[in-house]
Amino acid sequence: MHGRRRVKSTAEAERARREKEAVKIQEYRQLVENCFRMEIGCCPQRSNHEYTQNAFEITTKILWQNPDFYTIWNFRRNILIHGLLKDAPEDQRQGLLSEELVFLQEIFQSNPKSYWIFNHRRWCLETMPIPDWKKELYLVEKMLELDARNFHGWDYRRYVKSKLVNSMQPKELLQTDLDFTKKKLEQNFSNYSAWHQRSKLLPHLLSDASEDERKRLIDEEFGIAKSAIYTDPDDQSAWLYYWWLLGREPHHTSVRDDSIHEESSMALATVKGDRSTILAGEIEELKELLEEESNSKWCLQTLMHFYQELKYAKKLDDSELYNLDNEMEEICVRLIKIDSMRARRYEDIRNNLN
């Protein structure tokens, strides 16, 4: 349905295709009917259930064609729980569920975004006597190599990691994550998912670290972000991560705590000097970058954002405010030209300057 290429076809070919489809539809319907008959029987007391190998194989056939038919996954689990796995010795259960994992891997190839496949995988691993979580981590990382933006994969990776918590030291686990995301970023700085992961990791790492360790981690983090920015000034992922590292003044209108702000202010709290000094320093560096990359929309937007933050971070006197507003106005004018798609927004900002 999604993403099928347009292909020219003759009336003859069309007819043949429809006939073939009709047969497939009929076969599929028959399978589903058989399946339901076996599971439900005719009796509300459910004594006619067939939790047999035969029923199991029917679910396999259906799921090959339609892994999103969630009812059939439920049947399959019931067949396993009440039939095939029931009273089986440990090694048999291990074997059966390991085969399940192989089956899942096979249908995953053509359905990399099916929730149901991931869910059944979780169920298998949680049901089997000896799950191999390390192998599972390896598998999901291999998958993310093929599709680095598959958020099902990233979510599943976090789940697998949470299972490894008992067998690995928390620090070791965090380090594995840092290494993994760093690797993904080195492969491709546009890996938004990897930046996102890091924004979740960093606060955990910082909370346990010593003063020196924290400084080292923050410096390294700034290093990675800036490296990405200088390599490709047009890539928004790195810029937005850089904004997050610099944090935000709590001037929002929400009633409750700003958890995002708290996370990143942990980052900044460890850097020596007050925030306005840090911002001023970053602003100087950005101006230098701007000289080389005068058309970098993100460089300009970042400057404007930092000027705005500076206004909140420090009480400015009238002349400082005036100068700042002038700079911001000039940036708006440049952005209206460079990023005409969002011109109206920049005009709005310009009009709101004093």
Q: Contact residues for other proteins (CB under 8 A)?
A: 1-6, 21, 24-25, 28, 32-33, 36, 40, 44, 46, 65-71, 74-75, 115-116, 119, 149, 151, 154-155, 158, 190, 192-193, 195-196, 199-200, 235-237, 240-241, 244, 248, 252-256, 258-261, 263-264, 340-345, 348
Burial classification of residue 23, based on how many CB atoms lie within 10 Å of its CB (0-12 exposed, 13-18 middle, 19 or more buried) = exposed
Nearer to other proteins, 29 or 287 (CB): 29
Nearer to other proteins, 130 or 183 (CB): 183
Q: Are 79 and 55 in contact (CB under 8 A)?
A: yes
What angle (nearest 5°) sits at the alpha carbon of residue 243, between those of residues 242 and 247? 115
| Min separation Cβ 318 and other proteins, Å | 25
| Min separation Cβ 349 and other proteins, Å | 10
| Min separation Cβ 92 and other proteins, Å | 26
| Min separation Cβ 75 and other proteins, Å | 7
Q: Are 37 and 54 in contact (CB under 8 A)?
A: no
| Min separation Cβ 280 and other proteins, Å | 22
Nearer to other proteins, 135 or 345 (CB): 345
Report CA-CA distances (Å) from 106 to 21, 24, 137, 340.
23, 21, 17, 47
Nearer to other proteins, 22 or 321 (CB): 22
| Min separation Cβ 250 and other proteins, Å | 10
Query: For 179, how many CA atoms within 13 A lie in the half-sphere containing its CB?
Result: 7
| Min separation Cβ 141 and other proteins, Å | 17
Helix (H) or strand (E) holding 141: helix 133-146
| Min separation Cβ 341 and other proteins, Å | 4
| Min separation Cβ 96 and other proteins, Å | 21
What angle (nearest 5°) sits at the alpha carbon of residue 173, between those of residues 170 and 179? 140
Query: Distance between CA 118 and CA 104 in Å, rounded?
Result: 8
Query: Distance between CA 159 and CA 38 in Å, rounded?
Result: 34
Nearer to other proteins, 141 or 263 (CB): 263
Q: Give me the DSSP letters along 54-81.
A: HHHHHHHHHHHH-TT-HHHHHHHHHHII
Nearer to other proteins, 117 or 139 (CB): 117
Q: What are phi and psi of 151, to 5 degrees?
A: -70, -20
Nearer to other proteins, 253 or 319 (CB): 253
For the stretch 151-158, contacts whose Cβ atoms lie closer than 8 Å and that sit 24 or more positions apart, written own/partner, are 151/193, 152/112, 152/113, 152/115, 152/118, 153/112, 154/193, 154/197, 155/118, 156/118, 156/121, 156/122
Name, in order, each residue with C-beta under 8 angstroms of 102's C-beta and a sequence gap of 6 or more.
Answer: none
SS3 89: coil
Nearer to other proteins, 29 or 91 (CB): 29
Nearer to other proteins, 168 or 343 (CB): 343
Report CA-CA distances (Å) from 103 to 35, 96, 177.
19, 11, 28
Nearer to other proteins, 249 or 327 (CB): 249
| Min separation Cβ 101 and other proteins, Å | 17
Residue entry with tokens 């933006």: 149
